[in-house]
A and B are shown apart, each in its own frame.
Chain A
Amino acid sequence: MSITSLRQQFIAGETTPTKVLQALATEIVARDSKTGAYLSYDLDAALNEAASADLSLPLGGIPIALKDNMNVLGQPCTCGSKFLAENYRSPYDATVVKKLRAAGAIPFGRMNQDEFAMGSSTENSALQITRNPHDPERIPGGSSGGSAASVADGTAIAALGSDTGGSIRQPASHCGVVGLKPSYGRVSRYGLVAFASSLDQIGPLTRTVEDAAMILQAIAGYDPADSTCLDVPVPDYLSGINDGVKGMKLGVPKEYFGDGIDPGVRKQVEAAIQKLAAQGAEILDISLPHAEFAVATYYVIAPAEASSNLSRFDGIRYGHRTANPADILDLYKKSREEGFGPEVKRRIILGTYVLSSGYYDAYYGRAQKVRTLIRRDFENAFQKVDAILSPVAPTPARKIGAFSDDPLREYLSDIFTLSANLAGIPGISIPCGVTDFDGGKNLPVGLQILGPHLGEAGLLRIAKAAEA
């Protein structure tokens, strides 16, 4: 059930927010024990909000699930980590939560994720495994894996995720739903637990492109509580969404279609591109010459920022504290050792290393300069084209456990999504068919559309045209 059709049913009096929440709770009990998308939910609190829902508002009475790294007053916010799972309750609302409520929506459900959003499979959650609803032996993608899996599984109407290097788009692709990462600065990060502050953005995971536009409309806009949130007007994302792609110039970067792409993914993405061409879009070959350096650049910058951001988890003010520490230093070190999982530790060590004296210039300083080159590649491309088309991921969802001892291999699979975060541009993933892969049948494939900074309206218009 999409947001738009649920809205129609509310207005026609065919159902109510209370009934929808009760039906979702029934679905969660019936099916989520297999999928594992939900970490927690508070039905009573949501029913309280439903009782007074204002159905005249744009998202009036619509339940929206939240990745478990966004603060909602009184709710848990585990970030998929043992560090916060024991006793943390949010003392305030994230700005996106306030904005969703102002638009009439009801926050309902806390979704599993890779620990502190570090990962592309949700296997790095310290709390539970989430399975892909299309094939339970496979990952849902990540890090917003619970958000994507619940929308695909029908246990959520729509969800919010966060995207630091593909963490909305890639799970959307793997689960066959729509996922939008807005431009850096478009949506407030206040109340989102920070992973890499220059890369993180919150965005929607939905069944339809129109639903994604409706949620973006609600959560975008200036917030004085986030100094990086841009004070620029929010356009109407729905008014031009059906205008089509006739006359638009769409670029296909050769660097994103090289070896290493699964043939089934290539076939479906190329078919989606042909579909847009048939509707009158002009397809142009373009080049993003520094694309091959995105993984190296990202996996220096993101861990560097993470190592700094995660220093706040010290066992003093909130979260896990070790029992009987010998002294304050022992408290810090043991609390962090006990509270963090392996991927978080790897990234903290890596980030600390690339920022340390003697290595800073060689790694972090250099990566920031290459980030400029990657950003310029996109600026040059958007001189010639309105948007860029590519796969979201090189393959469909892999099996759970397949990359467990090889983090670099996992990082390399992020190649098509990382650059948008480095450049600060928006990207959307939409389903573009299914393919067989590695013993799995009919696994979803995603088309990625990247646009210029603050070009979300154009992306949504192209995505709507490409939507099946």
Chain B
Amino acid sequence: MSHSHIDVRYVANLARLELSDEEVAIFQPQLEAILKHAEALSGLDVTGIEPTAHAAPVFDRMRADIPHESLPSSAVLQNAPDQAQGQIRVPKVVTDA
């Protein structure tokens, strides 16, 4: 796991996060130091060890299929930064052919 080099701007783009040049310069050594610390995990033998995703896993919980009230759309829309005609408005996402 000797991968402690990280292309900060590339990964930030995957996370839909714009960064300034100053931020990249600050984060680069900080993130590399953290990843280098995480390399300690590669020294452990984990052959045959099951991963833990949840400490107290609960599986396949079913609830009774009874309709119940949801939040009214007005309650949901109250926090939207931009709205029109009872819907959340966003920039155009489909370009003209």
Chain B residues proximal to chain A, CB less than 8 Å: 1, 3, 6, 8, 11-20, 23, 26-27, 30-31, 33-35, 37-42, 44, 46, 49-56, 58, 61, 63, 71, 75-76, 78-82, 88, 90-93
Contact = CB atoms under 8 A, between A and B. Distances in A.
Nearest to B34: A408
A118 to B, nearest CB: 13
Contact of B16 (A292, A296, A332, A372): A332
Contacts of A345: 12, 17, 19, 23, 27
Contacts of B55: 184, 198, 371, 375, 421-425, 453
Contact of B58 (A185, A300, A332, A368): A185
Contacts of B8: 349
Contacts of A352: 11-12, 14-15
Q: Which of A311, A330, A337 has the most CB of B within 10 A?
A: A337
A207 interface: no
12 contacts: A91-B79, A227-B58, A228-B58, A293-B40, A296-B38, A318-B79, A326-B91, A336-B17, A337-B18, A350-B31, A366-B1, A369-B51
A315 interface: yes
B81 A307 contact: no
Interface of A: 87-89, 91-92, 183-185, 198, 224, 227-228, 230, 290, 292-293, 295-297, 299-300, 307, 311, 314-321, 325-334, 336-337, 340, 342, 345-346, 348-354, 356, 359, 362-363, 365-373, 375, 405-408, 411, 421-425, 453
A344 B1 CA distance: 25
B90 A337 contact: no
A370 B45 CA distance: 9
Given A319-B79, A327-B92, A411 B34 contact: yes
A108 B53 CA distance: 35
A289 B34 CA distance: 22
Nearest to A345: B17
A432 to B, nearest CB: 27
Contacts of A356: 11, 14
Nearest to B27: A346
Contact of A337 (B6, B17, B49): B17
Nearest to A307: B15
Contacts of A340: 17
Contact of B56 (A316, A328, A333, A424): A424
A87 to B, nearest CB: 7
A372 B51 contact: yes
A354 B51 CA distance: 15
Given A228-B56, A356-B11, 19 more contacts: A92-B71, A227-B58, A292-B40, A296-B41, A299-B38, A300-B41, A318-B80, A328-B93, A334-B18, A337-B18, A345-B27, A348-B17, A353-B35, A366-B41, A367-B41, A369-B51, A371-B51, A372-B52, A408-B33
